[in-house]
Amino acid sequence: IYEVKDNVAVVRINDPTSKVNTLSRHMQAEMVEVMNEIWGNAAVKSVVLISRKPGCFIAGADINMIQACKTAEEVTSLSQEGQKIFDQVEKSPIPIVAAINGSCLGGGLEFAIACQYRIATKSKKTILGTPEVMLGLLPGAGGTQRLPKMVGLPAAFDMMLTGKNIRPDKAKKMGLVHQLVDPLGPGLKSPEERTIEYLEEVAVDFAKGLAGKKVTVEKKKGLVQKIQDFVMGLPPVRKQIYKTVHSKVMKQSKGLYPAPLKIIECIQTGIEKGNAAGYLTESQNFGKLAMTSESRALIGLYHGQVTCKKNHFGKPERDVKKLAVLGAGLMGAGIAQVTIDKGVATILKDTTEEGLARGHQQVYKGLNDKTKKKSLTTFERDGIMSLLSGQLDYRDFENADMVIEAVFEDLSIKHKVVKEVEAVIPPHCIFATNTSALPIKDIAAASKRPEKVIGMHYFSPVDKMQLLEIITTNKTSKDTTASAVAVGLKQGKVIIVVGDGPGFYTTRCLAPMLAEAVRALQEGVGPKKLDSLTTGFGFPVGAATLADEVGIDVAAHVAEDLGKAFGTRFGGGNVEVLKMMVQKGFKGRKSGKGCYVYGAKSKEKKVNSGAEDILKSFKLTAPPAVSADEDIQYRLVSRFVNEAVLCLQEGILPDPVQGDIGAVFGLGFPPCLGGPFRFVDSHGADKLVQKMKRFEEAYGNQFTPCQLLLDHAKDSSKRFHK
Amino acid sequence: MIRASKKEKCTFHFHNTTVNIFVGLFLSVVFSNHTAKSKKTLAKPGVKNIVLVDGVRTPFLQSGTIYADLMPHDLARAALQGLLNRTGLPKDAVDYIVYGTVIQEVKTSNVAREAALGAGFSDKTPAHTVTMACISSNQAMTTAVGLIAAGQCDAVVAGGVEFMSDVPIRHSRRMRKTMLSLNKAKTLGARLSLLGSIRLAHLAPELPAVAEFSTAETMGHSADRLAAAFGVSRLEQDEFALRSHTLAKKAQDSGLLSDVISFKVPGKDIVSKDNGIRPSTMEQMAKLKPAFIKPHGTVTAANSSFLTDGASAVLIMSEEKALAMGYKPKAYLRDFVYVSQDPKDQLLLGPTYATPKVLEKSGLTLNDIDVFEFHEAFAGQIMANLKAMESDWFAQTYMGRKTKVGAPPMEKFNSWGGSLSLGHPFAATGCRLVTTVAHRLQKEGGQYGLVAACAAGGQGHAMVIEAYPQ
């Protein structure tokens, strides 16, 4: 398993059962065995630790191993085993060099920082980080103790609390790695293979240097570093930092996420009370966190996301090599951007030159911002832009493999577009419609080939929002679906595939919640209060702000359409409030005014007094029995959740996993709750039904729990997630 | 071959080299025993024969040395004048002049014209400047070939110049913008407010870099990665660099570098030798630290070509015209190709791509070639190219070829030194390569020679040269 080259033991990590290396029980045991053998081999003077997998050093600990544990104590002992191994690595009598190419995350990074020396390739795939916090956990194998000493307190907090990925250049600057190695191009072997070989050669040289004391681990500290070290040596300064970080975390997480607070505690204990206490706190906190519902929810989302990044409809008959987007508005341009970004030639068609120029600029800006962040070179940007053809006519549509229309949400316009496009596209070309509420079968009614018609509902802004909701009608062919999913995956989306109906899944869940939000506003809950109630529940964006972002006009449109389709269940707030706001020009952020006023520079958002006046004129009296803060929160959430469960009951949703992913990634349902279905599981369907019954008494059928929810309430063994 | 030059100062020198070449010719005719060629000649029916009449160059000097106070057109003029002297060409017999340059002096952006006027060519002879990085003068020569082949010209002078002792250093973009706006400002107030907008940071100058614009990677860095990709060791690179210097020294000492003209530098002495040839020892070379990838890289100052000042020029004619004017041409310029590939990871692999392509075009094989002259940008780059040319896997995977072309035998390869030792004034190197092939074919007695070079931008060039029958 290891080879000795010139007194250097080269250990090559390779998990044959997986595409990535993870720190499983098996691998840990094997590692201990190999290291003990190496330490016992007098001929070995130093060690190189490297992965044989091209894009991965060690991607982290095995999540399943943690999930399999039943108690906090079990997880704590897992953590302590990891701590023990890495402690031995840290105290190794001979230097160990970690040679990193590809992802070095979580437990992988903790392993690497226990080594005496780190060399990383500058490959785009090389990332270092501690993403545990995103799974509601913390670095439980010494990470909270070693990182602050290595990169300093502020950087360590930043890494562990955000879980962000660190690129090689940054890692070198931070002192996280000692040397960088450039990735190689074609040679006598494939670039990937040769780059790993080269990394190993360089690492072996350094290992020899370290063993022969020709290379020193300590690097000279600059003045800034010395000053920082001095300042951090002052207990009052550290105290202030803990305080600031703590209050920042509380402000951002509303106290809904336990992991960041536990991370702060671990770091603080280690620094203020010494190693032994620090390691103990780390392992105990790790155990506690693993048992929290938040961690289960976040891990559930992680697994769900993995599932939703696969094409379950097979390989499409033909690849989409040329895509055409109709309408260069916010959505159309966004779709074009994420498509050319992945190397697919795209036509962006609009009806006016102004519209086209705006859309073109949006795409350019999106890519140019990436060059500013250095994730793209200007040449790559230009090359990507060259794939975009902005035009006003239907030229070259005869070569399109897929058309996505993102024109105005009006059925007659959509029908006109379907007919125009079908006259110019080839027979195999798929017609996808990006609508947020119009039923796809109604749009497909104008088509000569409904089997090629599908819904692709993107979320705004397209280049930032990960979700894509694909809607199939009963006429949509499987190959059409496979092709739409393939395109979406190429665009980097997380995909849910749902059935057709007014509002599909996502819009249908959001609409009742927004209707309830409007009612709350009418009842005198101010926009700011409403926002703080919703963010306090875990929504990343408050309900009033969300309405402004979506657009009051869109909300009005959807509320009216879905109100017609679903009747009083979608009632609550008065649609006229929204219509009146639109009439006054309060269309949300895009028009500068909505619930709030959007000034160019003001930091603090001001409530739009014009909107307040409208709300006053539609004032309702709040029934005191269901108007406590918590009641308002549950009124909003329960309507969302009930509608989601109803979608599953009606077969719009194929399974709870896609329901959770769609709600969290598309609508910002609180990630700490894991989505509406996991929320029902963890909160208890019975408790939720009880609350809804109370609301039902005050308001009527908007709060009538659906049958599936009632079934779950009756039988507590019924769960959406196993 | 040479219409005896009647110029005073250089006569003695010229006679000397002339003698050397004749001796060389004699020897090679007597002793060489060449294998049968795939083709007796590359002449094609209905295609004009184009010949290299002669080629010269100024001594190639390390930048910042004796040429330091000149301007690029001064060097170019010296080469052009040298060509006139060497060939005794009537000044008005030249139809056209094409000259290459890479780093442009902004005052003489058409350096070809400025140099030609000062060199005493007729002011009725048009001149233009071309640029294609390190193959700029190759481009100048093939432009000349094109003009003649198309029947538009009969006699064209081509060449190239590079002057690294002085390069344009600009104000920052912000500063330039302010200065340009200043010109347009009408009132004193407007001018003052513009002047007031200048910040200290705006005064920081912009330095030119020998880096790819598309990738922002310096060439040395790319060469180091290339060497690593092909597993070229530091030792191999140092050995090759030492070989280059040793062979160059030998060639210089035995007077083989007859393309070098003497140049009286204004205010300085006469220069008649390249000054970068310094054979060292492996031990000394091993002491150097890597220049680009630190600390584990393999490309050092000693195994890279150095910044050089120099200029070159060649006279290219249709064979008919050359004969009619009483010249004995040195060589035929035959098939040539330009290639280009990924400027990031294959920046310096031009020779690998160009060699099989030009051989295929001319119907020759590697075995038919008697003389190879490859541009030596870096020892690591040459070694990587040789390994790539020896690799079936590389040929199949990246070049879409069935088999490798094979690496040139070292005894035929750059045997009078190369860019590593003689120096590499970017745009002047191409003519040196072609002239050297012609001279080596005469001296060593072969029939076919091959020139290949890489260039920034991931481009490359190769040309087949056929000896003129003696």
Close Cβ partners of A528 (under 8 Å, ≥ 6 residues apart): A544, A607
Q: How many residues does chain B have?
A: 470
Count of beta carbons in the 10 Å neighbourhood of residue B88: 16
Q: In what order do the strands lie in the sheet with A345-349?
A: A388-391, A345-349, A322-326, A402-405, A430-433, A453-458, A467-472, A494-499
Beta strand residue intervals within A138-256, DSSP E: 179-181
Q: Is 70 exceeded by the pLDDT of residue B374?
A: yes
Give residue B10's pLDDT: 37
pLDDT at B366 over 60: yes
Average pLDDT, integer, range A319-328: 97
Q: Which pLDDT belongs to residue A600? A: 67
Scanning B307-366 for CB atoms below 8 A from A yields 342, 344-346
Instruction: Report residue B9's pLDDT band, with 50, 70 and 90 as the boundaries.
Output: very low
Question: Which member of A184, A377, A379 has the closest CB to residue B229?
Answer: A184
CA angle at A687 for the pair A683 and A689, rounded to the nearest 5°: 115
Q: Does B211 lie at the interface with A, CB-CB under 8 angstroms?
A: no
Express the helix, strand and coil content of chain B in percent, nearest 5 each.
40, 20, 40
What are the CA-CA distances from residue B43 to residues A207, A366, A644, B139, B334 (Å)? Answer: 60, 57, 81, 22, 8
> Which pLDDT does position A226 carry in this prediction?
83
Chain B interface mutation, best of A189, A214, A376, highest count of B Cβ atoms under 10 Å: A189
Give the DSSP letter of residue A653. S
Cα–Cα nearest to A420, from A435, A408, A403, A437:
A403
User: Tell me: the pLDDT tens digits for A471-485?
Assistant: 999 999 999 999 999
Check CB contact under 8 Å for A377 and B221. Answer: no
**Chain B contact for A377, CB < 8 A?**
yes
pLDDT band at B21; cut points 50, 70, 90: very low
**Does residue B365 or residue A550 have the better pLDDT?**
B365
ipTM of the complex, rounded to two decimals:
0.89
Nearest to A123 by CA among A148, A143, A103, A149: A103
CA distances from A676 to A570, A639, A658, A659 (A): 18, 10, 11, 7
CB nearest A186 (choices: B224, B295, B346): B346
* pLDDT at residue A39 in the model: 96
**Rounded distance, CA A579 to CA A568, Å?**
18
Chains A–B, number of C-beta pairs less than 8 Å apart? 59
Distance from CA of A487 to the nearest CA of B (A): 28
Structure tokens at A425: 């596209």
Adjacency order of strands within the sheet including A46-51: A2-5, A8-13, A46-51, A96-100, A117-121, A179-181
B215 CB within 8 Å of a chain A CB:
yes
Please count the residues of chain A: 722
> CA A420, CA A407: separation in Å to the nearest integer?
13
Mean pLDDT for chain B overall: 92
Q: Is A191 on the interface with B (CB under 8 A)?
A: yes
Task: Name the catalytic one among B10, B134, B153, B431.
Answer: B134
Q: Is the peptide bond before A670 cis (omega within 30 degrees of 0)?
A: no
Q: What is the pLDDT of residue A47?
A: 97
**Residue B205's Cα: distance from chain center in Å?**
30
pLDDT in tens, A590-609: 888 999 998 766 667 889 99
Q: Do A188 and B391 touch (CB under 8 A)?
A: yes
Tell me the mean pLDDT in the region A572-578.
Answer: 93
Cα of first residue to Cα of last residue in chain B, in angstroms, is: 10
Query: What pLDDT does residue A179 have?
Result: 96
| DSSP secondary structure code for residue A493 in this structure | -
**Options B10, B153, B431, B454, the catalytic residue:** B454
Residue B236 contacts residue B385 (beta carbons within 8 Å) = no
**Residue B226: phi, psi to the nearest 5?**
-65, -45
| Cα separation values, A459 from A334, A441, A506, Å | 9, 21, 10
The count of C-alpha atoms lying within 13 angstroms of the C-alpha of A226, restricted to the half-sphere facing its C-beta, is: 5
Strands lying side by side in the sheet with A103-105:
A56-58, A103-105, A127-129
pLDDT at A391 over 70: yes
Q: Does A599 touch chain B (CB under 8 A)?
A: no
Q: For B240-266, what is the mean pLDDT?
A: 97
Average pLDDT over residues A494-521: 96
Tens digits of residue pLDDT in B68-110: 999 999 999 999 999 999 999 998 899 999 999 999 999 999 9
Q: What is the mean pLDDT of residues A508-518?
A: 96
User: For residue B377, what is the DSSP state?
Assistant: S
Q: pLDDT grade, residue A407 (50/70/90)? A: very high
- The model's pLDDT over A610-663, given as tens digits with 9 standing for 90+, comes to 999 999 999 999 999 999 999 999 999 999 999 999 999 999 999 999 999 999
Query: What Å distances lie between residue A651 and A458, A644, A647, A656, B43, CA to CA?
Result: 21, 11, 6, 11, 79
The Cα–Cα gap between A477 and A457 comes to 18
pLDDT, tens only, A126-147: 999 999 999 999 999 999 999 9
* Contact call for residues B332 and B39 (beta carbons, < 8 A): no
Q: What would the two tokens of residue B453 be? A: 């070079």
Q: Please tell me if residue A371 touches chain B, with a CB cutoff of 8 Å.
A: no
Q: What's the pTM? A: 0.91
**Stretch B34-54: mean pLDDT:** 91
Inspect the interface and report whether the beta carbons of A186 and B384 lie closer than 8 Å.
no
Q: Average pLDDT, stretch A505-526?
A: 96
pLDDT category at A436 given cuts 50, 70, 90 is confident
Residues 219-248 of B with CB under 8 A from A: 221, 224-226, 228-231
> Which residues does chain B have within 8 Å of residue A184's beta carbon, measured at their own beta carbons?
225, 228-229, 345
Instruction: Tell me the C-alpha distance between B247 and B440, whole Å.
Output: 13
Residue in chain A lying closest to B213 (CA): A379
- CA nearest A202 in B: which residue? B296
> pLDDT tens-digit profile of B164-193?
999 999 999 999 999 999 989 889 999 899
Which residues on B lie below 8 Å from A185 (Cβ)? Answer: 225-226, 229, 342, 344-346
Q: What is the pLDDT of residue A366?
A: 97
For the cut 80, the answer to whether the pLDDT of residue B20 exceeds it is no
Residue found by looking up tokens 């007659």 in the block: A412
A window 236-295, beta carbon within 8 A of B = none
Query: How far, in Å, CA of A114 to CA of B455, rounded?
Result: 45
pLDDT band at A95 (very low <50, low <70, confident <90, very high): very high
Instruction: Return the H-helix or E-strand segment holding B100.
Output: strand B96-100
Q: Quick check: A188 contacting B, CB < 8 Å?
A: yes
Among B213, B215, B217, B225, which would you mutate to test the A interface (most chain A Cβ atoms within 10 Å of its Cβ)? Answer: B225
Tell me the pLDDT band of A353, cut-offs 50, 70 and 90: very high
- Tell me the average pLDDT across B363-388: 98
Q: At B31, is the pLDDT very low, low, confident or very high (cuts 50, 70, 90)?
A: very low
Strand partners, A99: A50, A119
Report how far residue A580's alpha carbon sits from residue A610's, in angstroms, rounded to the nearest whole number. Answer: 10
Q: Within the 140-199 window of chain B, which residues sit less than 8 Å (CB to CB) from chain A?
A: none
Cβ of A202 within 8 Å of Cβ of B384? The answer is no
B19 band by pLDDT with thresholds 50, 70 and 90: very low
Q: Centre a 10 Å sphere on the Cβ of residue A626 and count the other Cβ atoms it contains.
A: 18
Identify the helix (H) or strand (E) that includes residue A532: helix A527-537
Number of H helices, E strands in chain A: 30, 19
- Residue A61: HSE in the Cβ half-sphere, 13 Å Cα cutoff: 30
Q: Catalytic residue positions of A?
A: 469
| Contact between A191 and B346 (Cβ < 8 Å) | no
- Rounded to a whole number of angstroms, the distance from the CA of B7 to the nearest CA of chain A is 52
Residues of A in contact with B295 (CB under 8 A): 179
By Cβ distance, the residue of A179, A187, A377 closest to B229 is: A187
Average pLDDT rounded to a whole number, residues A688-704 = 97
- Mutation test of the interface with chain A: which of B296, B349, B401, choosing the one with the most A Cβ atoms within 10 A? B296
